[in-house]
A and B are shown apart, each in its own frame.
Chain A
Amino acid sequence: TQLLEQSPQFLSIQEGENLTVYCNSSSVFSSLQWYRQEPGEGPVLLVTVVTGGEVKKLKRLTFQFGDARKDSSLHITAAQPGDTGLYLCAGGWRDDKIIFGKGTRLHILP
Chain B
Amino acid sequence: DTGVSQDPRHKITKRGQNVTFRCDPISEHNRLYWYRQTLGQGPEFLTYFQNEAQLEKSRLLSDRFSAERPKGSFSTLEIQRTEQGDSAMYLCASSFVVPTQYFGPGTRLTVL
A-side residues, CB < 8 A to B, are 4, 30-31, 33, 35, 40-45, 48, 88, 90, 92, 95-103
Contacts and interface: CB of A to CB of B under 8 A. Distances in A.
Nearest to A29: B99
A95 B105 contact: no
Interface of B: 4, 6, 31, 40-45, 48, 50, 55-56, 91, 93, 98-106, 108
B70 to A, nearest CB: 20
Instruction: Name the prevailing secondary structure of the A interface residues.
Output: strand
Nearest to A92: B99
A101 B45 CA distance: 12
A43 B92 CA distance: 10
Contact of A97 (B42, B48, B105): B48
Given A31-B99, A95-B98, A100-B43, A42 B48 contact: no
B42 A33 contact: no
Contact of B103 (A42, A95, A103): A42
Contacts of B45: 97-99
